[in-house]
Amino acid sequence: MDSWSKMMEWKQLADKYMNQSFFPGFDDKKQSTGPHVNLYESDNELVCVVSLPGLKNIDDVEVYVYKNAVKLIGNTNFHVSGMSVRQDEIFQGRFEREIDLPYSVRENPIEAYYRKGLLYIRLYRLLTDERKKKKVEIKYEDD
């Protein structure tokens, strides 16, 4: 769990305990210091979808995968020429974000691609020694 998620969890507990907002006026819309992430799961596969609007160069983002986490480091910048910002809700700027995964993943294959403002990272479950033992059937062969 990244630091921001821990803080948000703490805030929710404080809000519940006090029966009111612990940080009045806190803007939950910009709750992350990095891009928003969705994580999708099937039996042996994870797909991490990262919102990165305005990314002009794919080299502006680095993805690191290790054991049961994905780390994103990068920079996104976009603006409308000749205008000042009136409302700022879409994250932009330098970020470093770590996403905890529900289980360890394999080193290979890992697929990542960027399309229509979204970065997709496809990961596969690492099978560990904790899995059930499978009995192997022995067939008898005559000479």
User: 8-53: per-residue pLDDT in tens?
Assistant: 777 777 766 766 555 555 544 444 467 899 999 998 899 999 998 8
Please tell me the distance from the alpha carbon of residue 57 to that of residue 120, in angstroms, as a whole number.
Answer: 15
List the 111-115 sheet strands across, edge first: 37-41, 45-51, 118-124, 111-115
Residue 53 lies inside a defined structural domain of this protein: yes
pLDDT of residue 138 exceeding 60, the answer is no
Residue 25 lies inside a defined structural domain of this protein: yes
In this structure, the answer to whether residues 39 and 64 fall within a common structural domain is: yes
Residue 107 lies inside a defined structural domain of this protein: yes
Q: How many domains is the chain built from?
A: 2
Q: Per-residue pLDDT averaged across 82-86, rounded?
A: 84
Q: Can you spell out the DSSP letters for 55-83?
A: ---GGGEEEEEETTEEEEEEEE----TT-
User: 53-75: per-residue pLDDT in tens?
Assistant: 878 888 888 999 988 899 998 88
Helix/strand/coil for 39: strand
- Look at 39 and 128; give whichever has higher pLDDT: 39
Residue 137 lies inside a defined structural domain of this protein: no
We report the CATH number of the domain holding residue 50 as: 2.60.40.790
In this structure, the answer to whether residues 55 and 26 fall within a common structural domain is: no
For residue 19, the enclosing domain spans 1-30
Contacts of 29 (CB under 8 A, 6+ apart): 89
What is the predicted pLDDT for the residue at 43?
Answer: 86
Neighbouring C-beta atoms of residue 73, cutoff 10 Å:
15
Q: What is the CA angle 88-92-94, rounded to 5?
A: 140
